[in-house]
Amino acid sequence: MSGNHHSGSAVFVRCMDPRLTESDEFNAWAKNEFGPKHDLISTAGGPIRLMSPDSDAYVDLGISLHHHNVSRIGLCLHSDCGYNNEFHPEEVSTPEREHAWMNYCFHRAAATIRQRFASATRHVAIEYYYATIHPDGSVTVDRVPAMTVEGNLSADNIQPNIKGIEPGTKRVQTA
Ligand SMILES: [Zn+2]
């Protein structure tokens, strides 16, 4: 976990999972990382909801960007997420597939944010975090390095690295 070395306000986007929201250590980490008065977007799946430009989460993010002078957007995914288990069970069926899916979610969400708020996000840092919920209930958070995206950072240039996945598509288990 890193300290808060940043200036400017931040908006933190994370899942509403109570194993995170009621974790003292997770909340203490967020406060330290994003400041005691950061904006918070708490929704099922967290940043996954920002992959679709039509998501209601964009109402919240728009307030942060247009009215709260936000200079950082922290996107936090987490292990064993109920949103993935419900809507993307195949994508998280193995650790390797989950890793690829998480990378795709981060990039798709970031690209969609940039596309939706092109002028407002020009000087906004988008940061990736991954929270692991351990069997004993403890939570650790890792910062995920941003990966380079080829070409323009637009949603159309981010292709899923797992064939056939469309964000927000409910998949039906046939097995
Ligand atoms: Zn979750």
Determine the pLDDT at residue 146.
73
d(CA 139, CA 85) in angstroms, rounded, equals 19
Q: How far is the CA of 151 from the centre of ligand 1 (A)?
A: 31
Determine the pLDDT at residue 119.
87
Q: How far is the CA of 14 from the centre of ligand 1 (A)?
A: 8
Determine the pLDDT at residue 147.
60
Whether residue 171 has pLDDT greater than 70: no
Determine the pLDDT at residue 101.
92
Closest CA to 109 of 172, 170, 43: 43
Q: How far is the CA of 145 from the centre of ligand 1 (A)?
A: 21
Which residues make up the environment of ion ligand 1, defined by Cβ < 5 Å?
15, 17, 81
**Lateral strand order in the sheet of 39-42:** 39-42, 9-14, 70-78, 125-133, 139-144
Q: How far is the CA of 15 from the centre of ligand 1 (A)?
A: 5
SS3 131: strand
Mean pLDDT of 87-105: 93
Mean pLDDT of 103-109: 93
Contact 30, 38 (CB under 8 A): yes
Whether residue 4 has pLDDT greater than 60: no
Give the chain's domains with CATH numbers: 9-149 (3.40.1050.10)
Residue 157 gets which letter from DSSP? Answer: G
Q: Which residue has the higher pLDDT, 108 or 161?
A: 108
Q: How far is the CA of 100 from the centre of ligand 1 (A)?
A: 17
Alpha-carbon torsion 167, 42, 64, 143, what sign? negative
Q: How far is the CA of 84 from the centre of ligand 1 (A)?
A: 7
Q: CB 158: neighbour CB atoms within 10 A?
A: 20
Q: How far is the CA of 44 from the centre of ligand 1 (A)?
A: 6
Q: What is the pLDDT of residues 114-163, one digit of tens each?
A: 999 998 888 899 999 999 999 999 999 999 987 644 444 444 444 444 44
Q: How far is the CA of 18 from the centre of ligand 1 (A)?
A: 9
Contact 164, 101 (CB under 8 A): no
Mean pLDDT of 95-124: 92
What is the pLDDT of the chain when averaged over all its residues? 84
Mean pLDDT of 28-42: 95
